[in-house]
């Protein structure tokens, strides 16, 4: 009796046709929620997947420019990666220590930067690599990152093709990865590239990139690079890039770099 009464009351308050209407409204709402959720998901992906830039400096540390670079990076609250030369680290230990203590990412470039020696064969390459690694460890107290920047790039024409293949294979077997670049400041040649040209190179080459790995140099003669740096950072920030280093690269970022042929290029 009591149950029947509830049933009748329910039917009174929620007649079947109203129920259907409600149900269809609810479906619409769910679809709207799904559509909304989808849009939100896209927006969320963009937040999760912003444009990223990796500033990288090869060949330092040096007596006159490294601290200037460090100050500019600090003033702009960004971090960068330094692929260092072991011999230069020994010459300027305090500066290398400052880089590391300032949260910059430190990787092996080479100990000697003597192409003719280090690219003779894989053994010579790794002798040079470990000499640089041990300088970094001794001076900073930290191991270098597992990413290396091979002098001249991983497809340089100095080493023979077979030597290069052996070196790259051995690097990977040791859990090391080699990193090139997809944006170059063009500042490798002494005094050849003006401040404006450096800025132009970086602006044009980073356009349209989701991940930009920028090659710059940190040597005593790279004054123009230092001069260009504040505007370069300002430009990249304005373009919506976030600044990353190789210290805490995610597997997803690694995969993207491999796809872009910036890492482990074969």
Q: Which residues are catalytic?
A: 58, 217
Interstrand relation of 242-243 and 211-217 (parallel, antiparallel or unpaired): unpaired
Dist CA 20 CA 14 (whole Å): 10
Q: Does 187 bind Zn ion (CB under 5 A)?
A: no
Least CB distance to Zn ion at residue 68 (A): 19
CB of 43 to Zn ion, least distance (A): 41
Beta-sheet strands, E only, within the chain: 52-58, 81-85, 105-110, 147-148, 177-178, 183-184, 211-217, 242-243
Q: Which two tokens stand for residue 196?
A: 């404006």
Q: Hey, which residues between 110 and 139 contact Zn ion (CB under 5 A)?
A: none
Q: Please state the closest distance from residue 138 (CB atom) to Zn ion, in A.
A: 21
Q: Which is nearer to Zn ion, 59 or 187 (CB)?
A: 59
**Stretch of 70-78, 132-140, 149-157, 158-166 contacting Zn ion, by CB under 5 A:** 149-157
Q: How far is the CB of 92 from Zn ion (least distance, A)?
A: 16
- What is the total residue count of the chain? 266
Point out which span in 125-133, 144-152, 191-199, 232-240 binds Zn ion (CB under 5 A): 144-152
218 in contact with Zn ion (CB under 5 A):
no
Burial 9-35 (b: 16+ CB within 10 A, else e): eeeeeeeeeeeeeeeeeeeeeeeeeee
Number of residues that bind Zn ion (CB under 5 A): 3
Q: Is residue 151 near Zn ion by the rule CB under 5 A? A: yes
Dist CA 81 CA 84 (whole Å): 9
Stretch that binds Zn ion, among 124-132, 146-154, 155-163, 193-201 (CB under 5 A): 146-154
Closest among 138, 149, 142, 80 to 109, alpha carbons compared = 149
Residues 43-82 that bind Zn ion (CB under 5 A): 58-59
Nearer to Zn ion, 58 or 187 (CB): 58
Contact status, residue 58 vs residue 109, Cβ threshold 8 Å: yes
- How is residue 122 written in tokens? 């894989």
Q: How far is the CB of 213 from Zn ion (least distance, A)?
A: 15
- What residue ranges bind Zn ion (CB under 5 A)? 58-59, 151
């Amino acid at each position: 009796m009591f149950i029947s009464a509830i049933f009748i009351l329910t039917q009174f308050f929620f007649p079947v046709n109203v129920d259907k209407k409600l149900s269809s409204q609810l479906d619409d709402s769910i679809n709207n929620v799904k559509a909304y959720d989808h849009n939100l998901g896209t927006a969320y992906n963009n937040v999760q997947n912003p444009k990223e830039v990796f500033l990288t400096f090869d060949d330092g540390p040096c007596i006159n420019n490294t601290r200037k670079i460090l100050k500019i990076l600090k003033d702009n609250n960004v971090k960068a990666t330094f692929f260092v030369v072991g011999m230069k680290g020994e010459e300027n230990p305090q500066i290398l220590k400052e880089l590391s203590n300032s949260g910059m990412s430190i990787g092996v470039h080479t100990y000697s930067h003597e192409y003719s020696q280090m690219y003779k064969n894989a053994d010579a390459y790794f002798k040079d690599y470990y000499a640089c690694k041990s300088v970094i460890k001794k001076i900073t107290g930290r191991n270098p990152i597992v990413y290396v920047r091979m002098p001249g790039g991983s497809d340089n024409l100095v080493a023979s093709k077979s030597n290069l293949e052996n070196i790259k294979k051995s690097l990977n077997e040791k859990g090391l990865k080699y990193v090139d670049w997809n944006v170059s400041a063009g500042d490798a040649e002494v005094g050849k590239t003006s401040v404006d040209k450096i800025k132009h190179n970086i602006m044009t080459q980073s356009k349209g990139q989701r991940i930009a790995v920028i090659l710059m140099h940190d040597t005593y003669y790279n004054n123009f690079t230092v001069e260009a740096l504040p505007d370069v950072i300002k430009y990249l920030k304005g373009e919506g890039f976030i600044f990353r280093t190789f210290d805490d690269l995610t597997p997803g970022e690694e995969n993207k770099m491999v796809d872009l042929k910036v890492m482990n290029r074969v």
